[in-house]
């Protein structure tokens, strides 16, 4: 799939980390970019040249996800860099998800939040609006130090949990994304072109959004 001379984007997560290591071991001559600081640090350690700026045109962009539905819509919430990841995805001919097979379900997992990146000044108002829509909305706290977590762009994150399911996520996301101060959301609707999924036996399935059929 990856050919010499390609421009490749590597997102975040452990599965992309394995791909990064495989690229380093293969000695393929490719140009690499990444929105994820951890991925860039790993690439540097492996002797790879990589940039934080997206190329104008990307051949293949690889990323992980927290939940994936049967139409290959995804929630990419835990990492908190979805705004940057969407910028890279928008430049890619193909945007491929690498994930365990169990993350693929008929509908998105309600235990995974819809995460909003928001300007700090408007965070409380946005949180209140999300709660009025029936969501359990919480401003994300930093894991290491006291205070709120911050994105690479310096914004806050609000994790919005559904009470039951995400069947209405498209409408909910549309409403929230239009609020003043919302920079981006973790819902990737009609962005993923392919999913490379693996089970516990390391058997691989590749699905495409256009036909949603197994390719190999």
Query: Which domains are delineated in the chain?
Result: 7-104+189-208 (3.40.50.1360), 114-185 (3.30.70.260)
The confidence score (pLDDT) of residue 145 equals 63
The confidence score (pLDDT) of residue 171 equals 97
Q: Which residue has the tokens 């036909």?
A: 211
Q: Is the pLDDT of residue 23 over 60?
A: yes
- Mean pLDDT taken over the chain: 94
pLDDT class for 216, splitting at 50, 70, 90? very low
Percent of the chain with pLDDT over 70: 95
pLDDT class for 141, splitting at 50, 70, 90? very high
The confidence score (pLDDT) of residue 16 equals 96
Q: Are 184 and 82 in contact (CB under 8 A)?
A: yes
Over range 26-50, report the average pLDDT. Answer: 96
The confidence score (pLDDT) of residue 214 equals 47
pTM: 0.93
pLDDT class for 92, splitting at 50, 70, 90? very high
The confidence score (pLDDT) of residue 180 equals 98
pLDDT class for 200, splitting at 50, 70, 90? confident
Q: Which helix (H) or strand (E) is 132 found in, with range?
A: helix 123-132
Over range 31-54, report the average pLDDT. Answer: 97
Q: Which residue has the tokens 């977590």?
A: 149
pLDDT class for 146, splitting at 50, 70, 90? low
CA-wise closest residue to 194 among 179, 174, 180, 214:
214
CA angle 40–100–65, rounded 5-degree value? 50
Q: Are 193 and 94 in contact (CB under 8 A)?
A: yes
The confidence score (pLDDT) of residue 144 equals 67
Q: Which residue has the tokens 């993350």?
A: 103
Map residue 199 onto helix, strand or coil. Answer: coil
Q: Is the pLDDT of residue 86 over 80?
A: yes
């Amino acid at each position: 799939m990856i050919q010499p001379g390609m421009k490749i984007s590597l997102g975040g997560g452990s599965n992309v980390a394995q791909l990064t290591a495989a690229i380093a071991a293969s000695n393929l001559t490719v140009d690499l970019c990444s929105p994820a600081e951890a991925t860039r640090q790993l690439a540097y350690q492996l002797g790879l040249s990589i940039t934080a700026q997206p190329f104008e045109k990307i051949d293949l962009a690889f990323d992980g996800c927290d939940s994936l539905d049967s139409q290959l819509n995804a929630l990419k919430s835990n990492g908190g860099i979805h705004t940057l990841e969407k910028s890279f995805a928008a430049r890619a001919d193909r945007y491929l998800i690498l994930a365990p097979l169990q993350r693929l379900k008929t509908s998105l997992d309600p235990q995974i939040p819809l995460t909003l990146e928001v300007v700090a000044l408007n965070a409380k108002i946005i949180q209140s609006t999300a709660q009025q829509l029936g969501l359990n909305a919480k401003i994300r706290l930093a894991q290491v130090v006291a205070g709120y977590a911050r994105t690479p762009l310096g914004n806050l994150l609000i994790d919005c949990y559904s009470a039951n399911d995400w069947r209405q996520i498209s409408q909910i996301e549309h409403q929230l994304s239009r609020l003043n101060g919302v920079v981006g959301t973790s819902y990737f609707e009609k962005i993923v072109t392919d999913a490379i999924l693996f089970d516990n036996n390391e058997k691989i399935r590749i699905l495409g959004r256009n036909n949603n059929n197994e390719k190999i």
